[in-house]
């Protein structure tokens, strides 16, 4: 496992982050989740990402239980705040001082820790003044409940405004967590250049495009039983964007590229996002421990300019690049 600095900070995180969105507390049994976390630890992963909204708080509890007994100083634990939790009262969502202050305390209890290494605004909140949000984060840092602050799926102008306020308030905004893959490249035009300027890194989710870039979905054939594309709890909705024969055919054309490098398609996809020097870590999830053990092998892989050009040629105009696709809900979801 290789490690990279997160933003313009002294914090190092593993190139592969283990995330438990769509799995822990919902899709996989707790015993299996614990085995996946152990596989991550065995592979050298030190960085773990979750959110209070995942499985309506259950994912944090599962992760806290799975990491119990580990040396806390050897881990980087990340969580998030914004989306609704609890009974969906008027203040159970968003980035108000009230919701942030209550949410960090609840997250720490579930995670069984005194602090998180990174606390992230899960989306931008148009209904709360940014000054209020950033002051609440500053207070949490001063209280020692979070060491650093990050965001998720904020656009370039939002990052710039938040970064300026964080400097005024005396804390570090060091990361953004966007979707990024060979097929979803919307951060490249505006967010990555802005982040480089500001000293912000990307922690990217869905580097294998909800499993499409693993090559397990074949054109003209039904999705394999038990795959995300057959999951009626939400997984199928997430992956349907890419379940088109023209996309699946291009993914199969990537197989020889991966084979020439002695990589699986999933490893190639993860190595591809890590080739972007503004990406500090790629988030992977898992429903089986062996998935973790395989995907971590992407860490440390160097893709030559020729390979990167070949991938661009194969994917072509199927990649989504519109920076306007980075959006937050216009109104809080209650």
Tokens read off for 230: 């057959």
What size, in residues, is the chain? 334
CA 243/CA 233 separation, integer angstroms: 17
Helix/strand/coil (H/E/C) assignment for every residue in 26-56? CCECHHHHHHHHHHHHHCCCCEEECCCCHHH
Query: Which residues are CB-neighbours of 128 under 8 A, at least 6 positions away?
Result: 94, 95, 96
Pairing of strands 16-19, 173-176: unpaired
CA 58/CA 71 separation, integer angstroms: 22
What torsion, rounded to 10 degrees, do the Cα atoms 4, 6, 10, 14 define?
A: -40
Catalytic center residues: 54
CA 6/CA 118 separation, integer angstroms: 10
């Amino acid at each position: 496992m290789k490690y990279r600095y997160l933003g313009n900070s002294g914090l190092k995180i593993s190139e592969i982050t283990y995330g438990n969105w769509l799995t822990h507390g919902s899709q996989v049994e707790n015993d299996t989740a614990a085995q996946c976390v152990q596989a991550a630890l065995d592979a050298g992963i030190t960085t773990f990402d979750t959110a209070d909204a995942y499985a309506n708080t259950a994912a944090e509890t599962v992760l806290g239980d799975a990491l119990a007994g580990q040396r806390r100083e050897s881990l980087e634990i990340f969580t998030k705040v914004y989306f609704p939790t609890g009974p969906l009262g008027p203040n159970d969502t968003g980035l108000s001082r009230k919701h942030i202050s209550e949410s960090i305390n609840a997250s720490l209890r579930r995670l069984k820790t005194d602090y998180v290494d990174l606390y992230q605004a899960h989306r931008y909140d148009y209904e709360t003044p940014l000054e209020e949000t950033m002051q609440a984060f500053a207070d949490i840092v001063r209280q020692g409940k979070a060491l650093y602050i990050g965001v998720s799926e904020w656009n370039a102008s939002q990052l710039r405004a938040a970064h300026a306020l964080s400097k005024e308030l005396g804390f570090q905004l060091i990361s953004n967590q966007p979707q990024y893959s060979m097929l979803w490249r919307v951060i490249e035009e505006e967010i990555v250049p802005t982040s480089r300027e500001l000293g912000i890194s990307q922690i990217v989710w869905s580097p294998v495009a909800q499993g499409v870039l693993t090559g397990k979905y074949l054109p003209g054939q039904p999705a394999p039983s038990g795959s995300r594309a057959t999951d009626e709890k939400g997984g199928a909705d997430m992956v349907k964007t890419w379940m088109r024969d023209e996309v699946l055919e291009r993914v199969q054309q990537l197989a020889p590229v991966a084979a020439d490098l002695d990589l699986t398609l999933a490893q190639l996809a993860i190595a591809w996002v890590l080739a972007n020097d503004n990406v500090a870590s790629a988030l992977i999830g898992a429903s089986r421990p062996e998935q973790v053990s395989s995907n971590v092998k992407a860490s440390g892989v160097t893709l030559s300019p020729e390979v990167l050009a070949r991938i661009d040629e194969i994917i072509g105009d199927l990649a989504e690049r519109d920076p306007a696709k980075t959006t937050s809900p216009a109104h809080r979801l209650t």
